[in-house]
Amino acid sequence: MSSFEEDVERYRHELRVHCYRMLGSYDEAEDLVQETFLRAWRAMGEFEGRSSVRAWLYRIATNACIDVRRPRRVLPYQLEPSSFPATALPAREDVPWLQPFPDVLLDRAEEPDAVAIRRETIELAFLIAIQHLPPRQRAVLIFRDVLGWSARETAAAVDLSVAAVNSALQRARPVLREHLPPHRSEWSARDTSEDERKLLQRYLTAWENADPTALAALMHEDIRITMPPYPFWFEGVEDAIRSLVPNLTPTYRGHWHFIPTTVNRQPTLAAYLNNGFFALDIFRIEQNRIAEMTAFETTNAGRYGLPRTI
């Protein structure tokens, strides 16, 4: 391996996390890291050492992410289990490209000179909320409030003046708060707690007993279930339970089995349908109740350190 490759490769994991925060897509983050290294190789002769290699790479990666152009998707309807579309609701913006990030790779990114990856800055709710910011504001907020960079360092990374960085941060913070879930203090930086593990176990027991009443008792009244990239969601306990009940019967789709794990630093159930890996159900828990479930269909068990079959 050449000296250049050694210099940049050590930052691969943390750059992947940075691009993931910027874009919300694991696959795109992977692609953008490769694009970052390609751009760095082409510009190697222009690097004068005025900043660290790490800061230089973050600047290249950030600009590569800013170059990505795509609209958010507006979902005007809630899906009820009986029909679609059914009940008209206020328009809701969705992130169709949202993907989960493996905790096994988050752990690798916590290298000696990387900032520890806090749960509150990698959870799905945070990632969705920051997608409402324009790309450069999003980058400023990540550098200042997530990575802890100074205004001067941030200005160099996003090609703005220090005054413009401070202004962008002042505009970004209220927008972020507006789109974060309520009770944000309930999901501050911490690992999956013992209470959350117990709640997940009660959920599994209720599922194994095919007991919708017990499932409903574990949910907030305004629980939301989403299934990116599908353009629908279920909202409220009644519709959430109606969406789950058919799956409690093996004759509907088959037998379900679950393995508790964590993804995006959140409590997660790896779902197996007829013994084959099928999906990840990621939970947001508030006040010891399930506030949101995000289900991702995926067959890439290895990415998440999971077996393909059980």
Handedness of CA 153, 158, 160, 165 (dihedral sign): negative
Question: Using one digit for the tens of pLDDT, what is the confidence trace for 169-223?
Answer: 999 999 999 988 876 544 444 556 888 999 999 999 999 999 999 999 999 999 9
Q: Report the C-alpha gap between 184 and 119 in whole angstroms.
A: 12
Instruction: Give the pLDDT mean for 143-153.
Output: 94
The set of residues, in sequence order, having a beta carbon less than 8 Å from that of 188 and lying 6+ positions away, is 119, 120
DSSP, collapsed to helix, strand or coil, labels residue 154 as helix
Of 68-77, 193-202, 268-277, give the lowest mean pLDDT range.
68-77
Could you tell me which residue, 252 or 72, shows the higher pLDDT?
252
Q: What is the pLDDT of residue 112?
A: 55
Question: Using one digit for the tens of pLDDT, what is the confidence trace for 260-272?
Answer: 999 999 999 999 9
The amino acid present at 288, given as its one-letter code, is: N
Please identify which residue in the block is written with the tokens 């959870």: 123
The amino acid present at 238, given as its one-letter code, is: E
**Residue-averaged pLDDT of the chain:** 86
- The pLDDT confidence band at residue 273, using thresholds 50, 70 and 90, is very high
Beta strands in the chain (DSSP E): 73-80, 83-94, 219-226, 233-235, 256-263, 266-273, 276-286, 289-297
Q: Residue 60: enclosing H or E segment and its boundaries? A: helix 53-66
Question: Using one digit for the tens of pLDDT, what is the confidence trace for 80-126?
Answer: 544 443 444 445 566 778 899 999 888 877 655 556 678 888 999 99
The set of residues, in sequence order, having a beta carbon less than 8 Å from that of 296 and lying 6+ positions away, is 99, 100, 227, 228, 279, 280, 282
Please identify which residue in the block is written with the tokens 């009644």: 238
Q: What is the pLDDT of residue 152?
A: 96
Q: Which of 190, 177, 188, 194 is nearest to 130 (CA)?
A: 177
C-beta separation of 307 from 301 below 8 A: yes
